[in-house]
Structure 1
């Protein structure tokens, strides 16, 4: 009888948890997520999200014609895995990120907070951080300069990377047109999947507009299905759009 009650309440807790979110609940390792993406998702389509740069299995970047950067020169030679919705945007919803935790103390006895503490202490944060639907390959220098900035339109700003029309100014970023639809559907997915993450009204309006203006590609559909198979949950925002792709 006792075992039955334990099983019953355990099943209720699972139902309650699953009703809260449709996000990643299978892998909480960011490093594992990056390896799976490289090996099982991008193995036959090694192109970065913002600049369309080619990269190989050793993370080496083949610079697109006309691409330039004046900062983070070493990182410009390697691909990195970018959180399109920056980790800080959802990370600050966790108290460990904002305030730290009694167990977040380094070897010298100094307390720390932020991403490192959230990653150490909170499983829900780790699942969000490792969600492959929100991870994309990017030239390291672009990833570094984009930082945790939200997207907007910057019509009077010039590209920071020559032929790659990625514009960054006053802690805001405007991505190239080729990536805007994918970015929008990723932001929408994250908000729909995780109660902890909410867009601002302005950001939500921009993403809704980009979603309509820039339709899904065959590759975006294939990518979403591959991740769904590996991670166990779907990006319904992409999948619903893929019904009309032939």
Structure 2
């Protein structure tokens, strides 16, 4: 009984949002994704999302593709094919177009004014390193079947049908992209076409969760504070599934908490925490840093420790004593 209680307690603590620190911006998410999720995957057999290529890390979150490791050949853009980029498995265009902010001013307007969009853009479950050229060619196309398309990138198995505006990823990740898409549409209450549902449901069934997908889910869960329920099998997508919209509720709550009209009580909740500025990527300590209380509420990111701030790519403010 004691052993069972310990396992349960450990499980609950792993997915407790109070113990997690999800990224608040896309830039921050890329750094965290490198350091906390994919750092040891650059030379793994899994490889990048679309081609299975190995890569070498460069800078805070970038990488250079090892074309020989996967038989990659550039289709047109040699330079872009040589680098990794962070692919949104569900494109920002796809989820952005279902937000009012996009209609009012596009992606930049959403980033500045819509906390739910920012949460979607920075969601670690939806990010994966990918060959830059293939990422660019995929653009905002839905996933589909490209049987009429000949190989375009050497031995890379992903194909892009430009005429049909569809991308078919390699078999090894079809299950992963299906379950990630289910998660994003479920969490943020998005509408998915019947045709897309049918295809992804087939991939979900045909390509079961792999050991790496389970490990990836575990790593992201520790940061985000919740798992992908379509990986853990807590939820299952069926035709006509009604999204729960968990992330929409959380996004609205986050907006209220960061409002300029923040109350004294809510400010006290962050007392003692390290405050980062998502715009400058500088962090301030509660003591010894004169600008601690001067960071704009819309740019505030809190950290439990300096190491957490540094891991997210932040540096200490120069005026801290």
For the Cα contact (< 8 Å) 2:144–2:166, is it kept in 1?
yes
Alignment partner, residue 108 of structure 2: 116
State the distance in 1 between where 2:151 and 2:99 align.
34
State which of 110, 115, 119 in structure 2 corresponds to 1:127.
Answer: 119
For the Cα contact (< 8 Å) 1:84–1:183, is it kept in 2?
yes
Q: How does 1:40-55 map to 2 (within 5 A)?
A: 40-46=36-42, 47-55=47-55
State which of 184, 187, 191 in structure 1 corresponds to 2:185.
Answer: 191
Instruction: Tell me by how many angstroms 1:27 deviates.
Output: 2.8
State which of 176, 180, 203 in structure 2 corresponds to 1:182.
Answer: 176
For the Cα contact (< 8 Å) 1:159–1:168, is it kept in 2?
no
Structure with the greater alpha carbon radius of gyration: 2
State the distance in 2 between where 1:165 and 1:65 align.
10
More deviation, 28-37/55-64: 55-64
Residue 203 (structure 2) pairs with residue 238 (structure 1): no
Distance 1:65 1:238, change over 3 A: closer
State the distance in 2 between where 1:156 and 1:83 align.
25
Give SS of 2:146's match: coil
Instruction: Please list the CA deviations of residues 139-189 of structure 1 after superposition, one character each: whole Å capped at 9, or x if unmatched.
Output: 111111110100111212112212111111221111111110111111111
Residue 64 (structure 2) pairs with residue 60 (structure 1): yes
State the distance in 2 between where 1:65 and 1:122 align.
39
Distance 1:25 1:187, change over 3 A: farther
State the distance in 2 between where 1:122 and 1:72 align.
34
Structure 1 unpaired stretches of 5+: 1-23, 101-112, 242-246
State the distance in 2 between where 1:238 and 1:135 align.
15
Q: How does 1:28-107 map to 2 (within 5 A)?
A: 28-46=24-42, 47-58=47-58, 59-63=63-67, 64-98=69-103, 100=104
State the distance in 2 between where 1:145 and 1:183 align.
17
Instruction: Tell me by how many angstroms 1:70 deviates.
Output: 2.8
Instruction: Tell me by how many angstroms 1:25 deviates.
Output: 9.2
Instruction: Provide the aligned C-alpha RMSD in A.
Output: 1.6
Instruction: Tell me by how many angstroms 1:26 deviates.
Output: 3.9
Structure 2 length normalisation: TM-score? 0.61
Alignment partner, residue 147 of structure 1: 139
State the distance in 2 between where 1:93 and 1:223 align.
28
Instruction: Tell me by how many angstroms 1:217 deviates.
Output: 1.0
For the Cα contact (< 8 Å) 1:48–1:54, is it kept in 2?
yes
State the distance in 2 between where 1:208 and 1:167 align.
20
Instruction: Please list the CA deviations of residues 179-223 of structure 1 after superposition, one character each: whole Å capped at 9, or x if unmatched.
Output: 10111111111122111x121111011111100000111111000
Instruction: Please list the CA deviations of residues 12-44 of structure 1 after superposition, one character each: whole Å capped at 9, or x if unmatched.
Output: xxxxxxxxxxxx994321011111111111111
Aligned length in residues: 204
Distance 1:45 1:26, change over 3 A: closer
For the Cα contact (< 8 Å) 2:21–2:223, is it kept in 1?
no
State the distance in 2 between where 1:75 and 1:163 align.
17
State the distance in 2 between where 1:87 and 1:215 align.
26
For the Cα contact (< 8 Å) 1:26–1:232, is it kept in 2?
yes
Alignment partner, residue 14 of structure 1: none
Of structures 1 and 2, the one with the larger relative CO (CA 8 A, separation 6+) is 1
